[in-house]
Structure 1
Amino acid sequence: MPNSKNVEMLAKVKESIDNSKGIFFIDYRGLTVKETQELRRKLTAAGAHMKVYKNNIVKIALEQAEMPVADVAGTVAYVFYENDPVAAAKVIKEESKALKKIEWLGAIADGQSLSADEAKAYAELPSRDELMAQLVYVIASPLSGIAQVCAGPARGLATVLDAIADQKNAA
């Protein structure tokens, strides 16, 4: 008979997996309570949440969800992201640089298991907002060029009329 606490934890892990699009695995050893709270706050603002569960219970939940099972051991924090993996990865990267206590262990994204280096690569990608801004720029650039070309003759006419008016006023 399994322990009732483990059964409850398994249900919570399953819920976290169901509500997320992927998971980052990080080693958070050495973080103080205050640093951990700050990391959790920043992750929440980025649309992710960090939980610490027993590794074997997470493995069982991943198997039951038919997701790849991550081979992690030791002190592991699971960062579940809801929408944008890049935003969560950037927060982990920034905090990792600042605190020098966080290590990437891997991730599960798009139904595939990723190594630590592959998980880190997400932090180098542009965020969803940056990609949207780039798309708007690419779409708007030709339109602004067309608008300038169309406005060119009218601008030229205005310049010529202004010059003629200046000549008449000078005479």
Structure 2
Amino acid sequence: MEATLFSSLPSSSSSQSYPFPLKSHFNNPFIIPVHTHSHLKSKPRTLTIRSAISRTKKEETVETVKQQLEDCYLLAGISYKGLTVKQFRQLRSQLPETTKLLVAKNNLVLKAIEGTKWEALKPCMKGMNAWLFVHSEEIPAALKPYRAFQKEKKLEENDFTGGVFEGKFYGPDEFKTLENLPTRAEIYAQFLGSLKGPASAVVGTIQAPARNLVMVLQAYVKKLEEEQGGSQ
């Protein structure tokens, strides 16, 4: 900042003053440079933009989870701590087309399942989870690829953390039940066998879990439709 100062020096012999200019160049430390002031103004705006982007991504994740839950038969958590990007790609390539693997934070998944039958998955909401969405009634076939991958890569620590099937929560120790569910073909064969056997066998089949009975009836109806279509 440039300032021009004027001063009058008194004279002992005369009252006349002699004005002369004095120039002093100095920087006022109390003046904030324009570029610094501009930078301070732009910072809050940058933070606002970043917050908006982060919020949008979270909303997109919640929406993706909700979409995956449509026509979903099983939702299971897998501990992915320590897994590499390469291993994730390998795992995804080995899964059936009806099974999707998604990495999402627990709080976002919890928000997506709130108020639905999938809320039973709450005990899984800790640690680092990848989420397996099974869009098929063939549950064992959907779980088998991960078990094989887990064994091949020696990933004992990366086990299922839990899952929900038909509104019921299955802990890590109960996954064998899901992995040993009968396939559609096995249920179909069981039902046909009971039709040829005594009445007690049919009753036993009908008293099976609701899911098994529904699958049996669907398979039987489908077979009848195929037979009728072939006879026309």
TM-score (norm 2): 0.52
Q: What is the CA-CA distance between 1:30 and the residue it aligns to? A: 2.5
Q: What is the CA-CA distance between 1:105 and the residue it aligns to? A: 0.5
1:98 aligns with 2:152: yes
Aligned to 1:77: 130
Query: Which SS does the other structure have where 1:64 is aligned?
Result: coil
Q: Any gaps of 5 or more consecutive residues in structure 1?
A: 143-171
**Partners of 1:24 and 1:119 within 8 A in 2:** no
Distance 1:135 1:69 in 2: 32
Which moved further from structure 2: 77-86 or 32-41?
32-41
Q: What is the CA-CA distance between 1:69 and the residue it aligns to? A: 3.5
Distance 1:127 1:29 in 2: 32
The 4+ residue runs of structure 1 with deviation greater than 6 A are: none
Counterpart of 1:21 (choices 69, 73, 98) is 73
1:7 aligns with 2:63: no
Map 1:55-134 to 2 at 5 A.
Answer: 55-67=106-118, 68-72=120-124, 73-83=126-136, 84-101=138-155, 102-132=158-188, 134=189
The count of corresponding residues between Structure 1 and Structure 2 is 140
Question: What amino acid maps onto 1:117 in structure 2?
Answer: D
TM-score (norm 1): 0.69
Question: What amino acid maps onto 2:163 in structure 1?
Answer: A
1:31 aligns with 2:87: no
Query: What is the RMSD of the two structures over their aligned residues, measured on CA atoms?
Result: 2.6
Distance 1:126 1:54 in 2: 33
Distance 1:74 1:26 in 2: 10
Q: What is the CA-CA distance between 1:7 and the residue it aligns to? A: 1.2
Q: What is the CA-CA distance between 1:26 and the residue it aligns to? A: 0.8
The alignment-based identity, stated in percent, is 27
Q: Which has the higher contact order (CA 8 A, sep 6+)?
A: 1
**Partners of 2:121 and 2:163 within 8 A in 1:** no
**Partners of 2:78 and 2:161 within 8 A in 1:** yes
Cα deviation, 1:98-154, whole Å, max 9, x if unaligned, reads 22223111001001111112124322344334554x449847x99xxxxxxxxxxxx
Cα deviation, 1:27-72, whole Å, max 9, x if unaligned, reads 1223232321121122234x21110111011111111334324222
Question: What amino acid maps onto 1:34 in structure 2?
Answer: K
Distance 2:111 2:143 in 1: 25
Cα deviation, 1:70-108, whole Å, max 9, x if unaligned, reads 222121010000012211121222222222223111001
Q: Label 1:22 to 1:39 Cα distance change in 2 as closer, same or farther (>3 A).
A: same
User: Quick check: which has more Rg, 1 or 2?
Assistant: 2
Distance 2:108 2:169 in 1: 17
Distance 1:42 1:129 in 2: 23
Query: Which SS does the other structure have where 2:114 is aligned?
Result: helix
Q: Label 1:8 to 1:118 Cα distance change in 2 as closer, same or farther (>3 A).
A: same
